[in-house]
Amino acid sequence: MKLQLDESHYILTEEGYDLSLPLSNDANNPLAWYVSPPTFEPVRADGYVGAVAEGGSVNFRTITFNPHGHGTHTECLGHITKEIFSINQHLKEYFFTAEVITLTPEKEWNEEHQCWDEIISLTQLKNRLTVEKTEAVILRTMPNERDKKHKNYSNSNPPYLSVDTIEHFNELGVQHLLIDLPSVDREMDGGKLAFHHAFWQVPTSPQFHKTITEFIYVNENVTDGSYVLNLQVAAFENDAAPSRPVIYKIHQS
């Protein structure tokens, strides 16, 4: 498979790496933001049951879930605006140059909350993200245990990104940020969502084309480096939708 980007030729590996977490209605599903697990329920009406195991002709289930709290999702600036702008309307391209980087969050004392936080700092980012330009950054945090796929993050104060990291993202032209955490911001921040606002420049200069993808998982088979990202997002008219980011390792020819 070949792809031409910026007048250079690249060869993609045939194997793609799926960074999404599947949605399930059992204990394997990750959780955040204090929501209950997803539900998958057969439709029942007037003697009809949408379950073959119960005598129905087909499996016909209603699925109830929250895009932000139940797994891999991609969001646009409509997540923090009064008007609910749709990710389906504003994400119109699906292939991007991407860099995978791995970082261990640093401990930092939070004076306001009187506790230790774990953050990704600007210094860390500059030391690890050294390319000249990239459209997307995929951030894997350490430790990278497999329980990330099933963890309940609610009330756990997960790691988050320092707002000043946006300085470096902007220098590199980053339009799409993907992380293996439930949010780019602190879990309890009084509703500030400082990183979200700065990344999308809301309300001063709204960046409708930029996206944030949260709750990914980057397994140990994926090495840091350059990839092509195929950002597959379900066609929901909502600020966020379930997504399936798939990356392909590239080698310049």
Query: Per-residue pLDDT for 163 more than 50?
Result: yes
Confidence of residue 250 (pLDDT cuts 50, 70, 90): confident
Q: What average pLDDT does range 168-189 have in this prediction?
A: 97
Read off the tokens for 23. Answer: 């949605």
Tell me how far apart the alpha carbons of residues 16 and 240 are, in angstroms, rounded to a whole number: 24
Lowest mean pLDDT among 8-22, 36-50, 112-126, 132-146: 8-22
Query: Per-residue pLDDT for 12 more than 70?
Result: no
Is the model more confident about 176 or about 11? 176
Confidence of residue 14 (pLDDT cuts 50, 70, 90): low
Query: Per-residue pLDDT for 201 more than 70?
Result: yes
Angle 157-141-161 from CA coordinates, rounded to 5°: 55
Ordered by where they begin, the domains of the chain are 2-24+68-252 (3.50.30.50)
Query: Per-residue pLDDT for 253 more than 80?
Result: no
Q: What pLDDT, on a 0 to 100 scale, did the predictor assign at position 8?
A: 52
The alpha-carbon radius of gyration of the chain (Å, integer) is: 19
Q: What pLDDT, on a 0 to 100 scale, did the predictor assign at position 1?
A: 41
Angle 76-82-86 from CA coordinates, rounded to 5°: 35
Q: What average pLDDT does range 80-84 have in this prediction?
A: 96
Query: Per-residue pLDDT for 53 more than 90?
Result: yes
Q: What pLDDT, on a 0 to 100 scale, did the predictor assign at position 10?
A: 55
Query: Per-residue pLDDT for 11 more than 70?
Result: no
Mean pLDDT value across the chain: 94
Confidence of residue 185 (pLDDT cuts 50, 70, 90): very high
pTM of the model: 0.93
Q: What pLDDT, on a 0 to 100 scale, did the predictor assign at position 2?
A: 45
Query: Per-residue pLDDT for 221 more than 70?
Result: yes
